[in-house]
Amino acid sequence: MLEHWRMFAAYNAWANRRLYDACGARPEADFSRDGGAFFGSLKATLNHLLVADRIWLARFEGEANPAYRLDTVLFEDLAALTAAREFEDARLSDYVGRLGPDDLGGVVTYRRQATSEDIRQPLAQALAHIFNHQTHHRGQAHALLTQFGGVEAAPSLDLAFFLRGVR
């Protein structure tokens, strides 16, 4: 089961690299353009994913939640956001790589950002959430790229392509 999570961590980094490369190929104005996605723009959507990952990694490591709102824009420009994304993807891969078989049966205890509710959740469920959450919002960013630049503007992010070694 550990290999399953390590595969998802590697896929996550691969998909993010492809998505960020596609964002970088678009006119700069498209990065901040509101395309009607849940968080509006590519900038806001990608920042949301970074914020959420920082929150979840803090929880996994037993640290206090960072004091971010889920719509916090940490980085205004794509270059700085890309560097931060790569760093978080490496942190997530490192965390998953350090897990042992007994860790997956463990529990994550944390306090929600939006309310002061304390939550206890199996680690395996929390890992499933973080990777699913990434896929969900990457899909929204992918739709924005398609909307702004057509089908050729958005790369394939299919897990099957990653598993076959498509680069």
Q: Indicate the annotated binding residues.
A: 48, 133, 137
Q: Which residues are documented as binding site for a divalent metal cation? A: 48, 133, 137
Two tokens, residue 88: 């978080």
